[in-house]
Chain A
């Protein structure tokens, strides 16, 4: 009986903490949307961008990720085709559908999403660490004091570079995945390349869906990572937090966007997918 006020107090305390957490999350989501809209607005404010920043970021985000994306998607293509052929071998032994279905999936899903995931980790961490350390050393405040909008200066160039390079890397990654898968099928299971490399099932719908996914990942990764960087607090620990949050947040947004676009695609195009 005497414990009751204590239990009540701890319960109220817990509810308050949950409530505060929920409010914080909603506020963060709102801030993220504001940042995204601010970034879109920044595309039309050319004066705010440092000269040559977009090209420099394209190099950092795109060129420096080529090997990483190519190797990862190449190996994944080999593993996927090997496993598929292995299973087909046990059941029917007919490999005629492997290549034709594989490229359909690569175009509409594997290439954009796997490339997006890879870039979410590599690019997301880089952006968050850089912007986060600028935040904790007050460089962002100094930018504002110099009459520069941090969004225009830091996020917009990365956004533009990321959109272009994510699409470019998706095309490259998809091609390598297809090629690696084909070689695996040919050398491990003796599948005829003429049968494997068959594009007849790929339609404009697949290409469109893949492109939309790729574009949306390219937009989401720098905004989410930049958002985490801008929220870094304190010192190096804050930068570490921002980097981790950026990798998780950017990867998560790629998966959620993949889910949303896949569902929408299925609802709109149904059987033609």
Chain B
């Protein structure tokens, strides 16, 4: 199964990507290839550039140097409109759920269906209700985001991202701030996405339970590049002390963590 995925070639490829903010380099030389249908976890300490990495894929950030390829097409030089077709195929679930406060859940989910999917208002709203049903939010469909719990908001945001059936879904810390039960439900949803819909998932996370339960492969970001890459078993067996410190969650060790 893994071989079949690998032979199809990577769906996403970062080639020597560099990015600095205000003169401070965050990514220095990051290269990573993600296969079709894979659940790839990007892990690392806070502020190391995990979210920054995935935001380049959908044109929310621009690389300073390097290349990004999506399905055989170079995308790092596209303009805002050039990214529209990419955003139709690559969805993102943001860290803060980011539902639009002024809209009900149904309207939130209907927005990409109208704008990206080209549906009319009525059809988009009907479709949105179906999508909310899939994440068990039917009875809250007409509520506003402010009236709901964090877990519900997160689920609604996932429904909004999945509404247009993207081939690749980016998750930015999907389980952060959720109770363990909600977190494991989100994990299951991500796994099903890959197993049943054949979608590729790239998950930024430092939730060790998620990492070792659902990841196909893990990329460990450290000092602006990929320090280690492999299956959960491979990472657990890694002789690299920095990797070991992170996955064992030890407060002392060789890892450099700015600010501590």
Contacts and interface: CB of A to CB of B under 8 A. Distances in A.
B257 to A, nearest CB: 20
Given A146-B112, A146-B115, A137 B96 contact: yes
Contacts of B60: 141, 144-145
A6 interface: no
B154 interface: no
A95 to B, nearest CB: 53
A145 B87 contact: yes
B28 to A, nearest CB: 22
Nearest to B161: A145
A212 interface: no
B248 to A, nearest CB: 31
A148 interface: yes
Interface in A57-102: none
Contact of B87 (A137, A138, A147, A149): A147
A139 B146 CA distance: 14
A144 B91 CA distance: 11
Given A146-B111, A146-B115, A141 B87 contact: no
Contact of A138 (B88, B98, B101): B98
B173 to A, nearest CB: 12
A142 interface: yes
Contact of A143 (B58, B84, B100, B101): B100
Nearest to B166: A145
Contact of B160 (A141, A146, A149): A146
**Interface footprint category on A:** 10 to 19
Interface residues of B, number: 24
B217 to A, nearest CB: 25
Contact of B111 (A137, A138, A148, A149): A148
Interface in B144-163: 157, 160-161
Interface in B84-117: 84, 87-88, 91-92, 94-96, 98-101, 111-112, 115-116
A141 B112 contact: no
A156 to B, nearest CB: 15
B174 to A, nearest CB: 14
Contacts of A146: 111-112, 115-116, 160
B146 to A, nearest CB: 12
Interface in B125-167: 157, 160-161
A107 to B, nearest CB: 38
Contacts of A142: 92, 94, 98-100, 157
Contact of B100 (A139, A144, A147, A149): A139
17 contacts: A138-B95, A139-B99, A141-B92, A141-B94, A142-B92, A142-B98, A142-B99, A143-B100, A144-B59, A144-B87, A145-B58, A145-B91, A145-B161, A146-B115, A147-B87, A147-B115, A149-B80
Given A141-B60, A145-B92, 18 more contacts: A138-B94, A138-B96, A141-B94, A142-B92, A142-B94, A142-B98, A142-B99, A142-B100, A143-B100, A144-B59, A144-B87, A145-B112, A145-B161, A146-B111, A146-B160, A147-B84, A147-B115, A149-B80
